[in-house]
């Protein structure tokens, strides 16, 4: 009886490891597609693939995160405001699914702030007051959960920079925050191979603006 139980447990473990390896392999392939997407077609291919993975792995937040991230990036390539808003609404739907699984995860809170930032960018004149505060709140919440997170630092710094420019005030603190994010990108250890890694190049470009 004991031998049968051990055999059953080993079988479950083997299939679990195999399934996890298959999941991570599929995720890594499609994460790269998201990072390299530069057209509606390329975004849609990545999104469709990730949607199938999300349907097969409903307990994992990562597929929904990257679907939301893809829609958010895609919104910046659009020129029409109504299309941008439509894409960001879909991004929010998928992020909500991920947040239901991991409501306090720093990467998800950072992406929530990013979506708010994207919504602000559609019409800064009328949306700035509402969404700038909402975005900064999420970036700060992310840093409360993970003070070393470079993406949260970067996005907070960029929001601070934009706000300072709009108000005509000093950008020193904002630039220091962006600079700190670059340092963290060099040392930050992700929790696994499919965790978010984006932002280093963006941080370096943002920091260059500080010296202009």
Q: Which residues contact 146 (CB under 8 A, 6 or more apart)?
A: 106, 152
pLDDT for the residue numbered 10? 39
Task: Give the largest Cα separation in the chain, rounded.
Answer: 76
pLDDT for the residue numbered 211? 75
Torsion-angle region of 184 (φ positive above 0: left; ψ -120 to 50: alpha; else: beta): alpha
- Alpha carbons 118 and 72: distance in angstroms, whole number: 7
Residue 124: band (very low, low, confident or very high) from pLDDT cuts 50, 70, 90: very high
Instruction: Give whole-number Cα distances, 54 to 12, 35, 59, 98, in Å.
Output: 22, 18, 8, 10
- Alpha carbons 6 and 121: distance in angstroms, whole number: 57
pLDDT for the residue numbered 30? 98
Q: Give the long-range contacts of residues 27-36, CB within 8 A, separation 24 or more.
A: 27/53, 27/62, 27/63, 27/66, 27/194, 28/193, 28/194, 30/66, 31/66, 31/194, 34/66, 34/69, 34/70, 34/73, 35/198
Q: How many CA atoms lie within 13 A of 133 on its CB side?
A: 3
pLDDT for the residue numbered 19? 64
Residue 16 has pLDDT above 50, yes or no: no
Q: Which residues contact 173 (CB under 8 A, 6 or more apart)?
A: 160, 164
Q: pLDDT tens-digit profile of 49-96?
A: 999 999 999 999 999 999 999 999 999 999 999 999 999 999 999 999
> What number of other Cβ atoms are within 10 A of residue 19's Cβ?
12
Q: What's the average model confidence in pLDDT over 101-130?
A: 97
Residue 5 has pLDDT above 80, yes or no: no
Q: Break the chain into its structural domains and give their ranges.
A: 104-210
Q: What's the average model confidence in pLDDT over 108-135?
A: 97
DSSP assignment of 110-135 equals HHHHHHHHHHHHH-HHHHHHHHHHHH
Q: pLDDT tens-digit profile of 155-207?
A: 999 999 999 998 999 999 999 999 999 999 999 999 999 999 999 999 999 99
Residue 15 has pLDDT above 70, yes or no: no
Residue 2 has pLDDT above 90, yes or no: no
* Assigned fold of 104-210: 1.25.40
């Amino acid at each position: 009886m004991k031998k049968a139980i051990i055999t059953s447990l080993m079988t479950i473990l083997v299939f679990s490891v195999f399934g996890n390896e298959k999941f991570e392999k599929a995720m890594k392939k499609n994460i790269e597609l998201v990072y390299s997407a530069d057209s509606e077609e390329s975004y849609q291919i990545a999104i469709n693939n990730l949607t199938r993975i999300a349907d097969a792995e409903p307990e994992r937040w990562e597929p929904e995160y990257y679907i939301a991230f893809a829609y958010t990036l895609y919104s910046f390539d659009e020129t029409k405001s109504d299309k941008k808003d439509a894409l960001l609404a879909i991004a929010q739907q998928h992020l909500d699914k991920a947040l239901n699984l991991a409501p306090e995860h720093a990467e998800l809170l950072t992406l929530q702030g990013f979506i708010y930032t994207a919504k602000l960018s559609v019409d800064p004149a009328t949306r700035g007051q509402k969404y700038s505060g909402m975005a900064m709140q999420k970036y700060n919440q992310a840093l409360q959960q993970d003070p070393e997170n470079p993406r949260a630092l970067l996005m907070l710094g960029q929001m601070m920079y934009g706000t300072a420019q709009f108000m005509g005030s000093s950008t020193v603190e904002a630039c220091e925050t962006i600079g700190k994010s670059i340092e963290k990108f060099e040392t930050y250890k992700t929790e696994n191979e499919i965790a978010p890694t984006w932002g280093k190049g963006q941080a370096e470009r943002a920091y260059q603006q500080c010296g202009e």
